[in-house]
Amino acid sequence: MKKISSLLVFLAILLSGQNTIAQLSGTYSIDSTGVGDYQTFTAAVSDLSTYGVNGPTVFLVEPGTYNEQIVIPAISGASATNTITFSGNAADSLSVVLTFNQSSFPANHVVKLDGADHIKFQKLSIQSTGLFYSKVIIFENQASYNTLSNCHIVGQSVSYNYEDNAVISS
């Protein structure tokens, strides 16, 4: 009887579509070669927004160029104690590059912190390659207590429409 009831509970959870994966906590790796826990920033952010955190969470990013655009929403469980850190896993911040070529106004960013709090970026280069739309980092919807340390933030040098080409925007 015990086996049947355990099986029924398992099936009920499976069929209900409820998420049974625990919140994130600890150290994970991002490695575009497929060796790490995540291949992209986007995949890591997806799990953060889906599962939240229940302790300090660190993503060590292996050297390489990551051509992607990320939006980090408010993350459940993030706090002054339960920070979320994206850190280059090399001494040189130029060895890890998060870059994107924006081509339109609604998507004018490489990184958008959309209400996200307690996010840290360390030892990374974040670079826009868009020409007309080249914002690098946007803080929106009261994104607070976020830190950039030992990072290279690189935008485009243009002489027009400065607002669409801000390196950091809030």
List domains and CATH numbers for the chain: 23-169 (2.160.20.10)
Question: What does the pLDDT read at residue 149?
Answer: 95
Question: What does the pLDDT read at residue 169?
Answer: 60
The sign of the dihedral angle between the CA atoms of 150, 155, 160, 164 is negative
Question: What does the pLDDT read at residue 72?
Answer: 97
pTM for this one?
0.82
Question: What does the pLDDT read at residue 137?
Answer: 84
Contact, 109 vs 138, CB < 8 A? yes
Question: What does the pLDDT read at residue 166?
Answer: 62
Low-confidence ranges of the chain (pLDDT < 50): 1, 5-19
Beta pairing partners, 126:
98, 153
